[in-house]
Amino acid sequence: MPPLGLDVRDVLDILLVTFLVYQGYLLVSGTRAVNVVRGILVFAAVWVAAQLLNLTTLSYLLGRAGTVGIFALIVLFQPELRAVLERVGRPRGRDTGASGAALQDLARAMERLAERKTGALIAIERRTPLGEYAATGVSLDALVSVPFLEALFARNAPLHDGGVIIQGSRVIAAGCLFPLQSSDGTYRRYGTRHRAAIGLSELTDAVVLVVSEERGSMRVALQGRLGPDLTGAELREHLRTLVYDPAGYRPPDARTADETPDAAESHSTEGRA
């Protein structure tokens, strides 16, 4: 008999469960499902305590509520469950390694749109799949480029209304409807473009960029919050940290002159599509 009565199969079992729990955590972290998971854990803890203390009526009621609750959760979180399955089934390695070129083009396009006071709304997918929001618009598959983004948001362009969704270095949809932020007061004074950015960032871990048509400002919405007005350099730092190179991020003063965002800006964008 091995020590502790564990054999290879038990160890494999534990490792697989640990892996699945960790993957489950990665899938829900940064989404509204986190609060639900917390609620379920509290519920389960009370139920276990009721069983241990032999509180028969309470454990009976919680047991019944739990059974009904599972079905209620499936109905309530149908879009999220679909998104999780979509993510699990998505083939890996297809252009998800976003490039520095996409970062520069995206930032440059934002600057040009802001300079011309052309309103824009761009969501960049991170861990939470944005397929359900992409499905509300027109499906595309094009490399991120300055001219392409400018053309999409140009005032009379057919897809200028709504948001664009970017996956890695590709634009996957335009003219998409994002969920509006619940009008809880904090952001009530903002228009619908900004509230759509906050709303999407509240429900997913996407980084959502907004250019204001009124003010010509660039801002980022993340985790249900709208950040301050950004300069081009600040926007590049945000994109680098949050999306394009989280592991390799170094603060600006740790880089050499050649690596600074402005130096990198010389990357040519014209003609890419």
Ligand X SMILES: Nc1ncnc2c1ncn2[C@@H]1O[C@H](COP(=O)(O)OP(=O)(O)OP(=O)(O)O)[C@@H](O)[C@H]1O
Contact set with ligand X (CB under 6 A): 119, 121, 161-163, 177-178, 180, 190-194, 196, 212-215
Residue with tokens 């094009």: 142
Q: Residue 98 or residue 218: which is nearer to ligand X going by CB?
A: 218
Distances, alpha carbon 89 to alpha carbons 86, 124, 135, 175, 250, in Å = 5, 20, 17, 25, 33
Q: Which residue is nearest to ligand X (CB)?
A: 191
Q: Which long-range contacts (CB under 8 A, 24 or more apart) does 92-98 make?
A: 95/167, 95/168, 95/169, 95/170, 96/167, 96/168, 97/168, 98/168, 98/169, 98/243, 98/244
**Helix H segments across the chain?**
8-28, 33-52, 56-76, 78-89, 100-115, 131-134, 146-153, 192-203, 232-239, 261-264
Evaluate whether 123 touches 207 at the Cβ level (below 8 Å).
yes
* Nearest distance from C-beta of residue 213 to ligand X, angstroms: 3
Distance from C-alpha of 213 to C-alpha of 117, rounded to nearest angstrom: 5
Q: The tokens of 149 are what?
A: 């983004």
Q: Minimum distance from CB of 111 to ligand X (Å)?
A: 16
- When the beta carbons of 28 and 207 are compared against ligand X, the nearer one is 207
Cβ distance to ligand X smaller for residue 10 or 115 = 115
Least CB distance to ligand X at residue 91 (A): 28
C-beta of 83 vs 208, nearer to ligand X = 208
Q: Which is nearer to ligand X, 77 or 190 (CB)?
A: 190
Cα–Cα distance, 56 to 50 (Å, whole number) = 7
Query: CB of residue 202 vs ligand X: minimum separation in angstroms?
Result: 13
Provide the minimum distance between the beta carbon of 21 and ligand X in the complex, in angstroms, as a whole number: 35
Residue number, 9 or 188, with CB nearest to ligand X:
188
CA distance 193 to 163: 9
What's the closest the beta carbon of residue 180 comes to ligand X, in angstroms?
Answer: 5
Contact 134, 82 (CB under 8 A): no
Q: How far is the CB of 237 from ligand X (least distance, A)?
A: 23
| C-beta closer to ligand X: residue 62 or 125 | 125
